[in-house]
Amino acid sequence: MSYYTNVGPLRGPVRSGEYPFAIAVLDSRHSISPVGMAFGVGRTDDSLAVWRLTVDGAEVPGRFVIVDREFRPVGSADPRLPTARPPGRLVPPGER
């Protein structure tokens, strides 16, 4: 299942520090009612914000970045990510 948010640029990634610690999770690009929350948990080597998702009270496995307002798994080889390689290791907030 894909998840979306209503924050961030329509095109492109959300970088670390650009948005609040907690944001809404939506089940479609056009939804206005959240189905869950996303919590900032760090950043990638490329300085993309990394999120932990909860939907309907349950944690969604994995960690995610936001590109084009869509949550995408960290480390996916998605060619739409802004770098030629997948995001690197997670950097905890204390190491920024």
Rounded to whole angstroms, how far apart are CA atoms 83 and 27? 26
In DSSP notation, the chain reads ---B-S-S-SSSBPBTTSS-SEEEEBSSTT--S-SEEEEEEEE-TT-BEEEEEEETTEEPSS-EEEETTEEEETT---TTSSSSS-----B-GGG-
The stretch 18-25 carries a mean pLDDT of: 92
Q: For 61-70, how does the pLDDT look when each residue is reduced to its tens digit (9 = 90+)?
A: 999 999 999 9
Hey, how many other C-beta atoms are within 10 angstroms of the C-beta on 41?
16
What pLDDT is attached to residue 61?
95
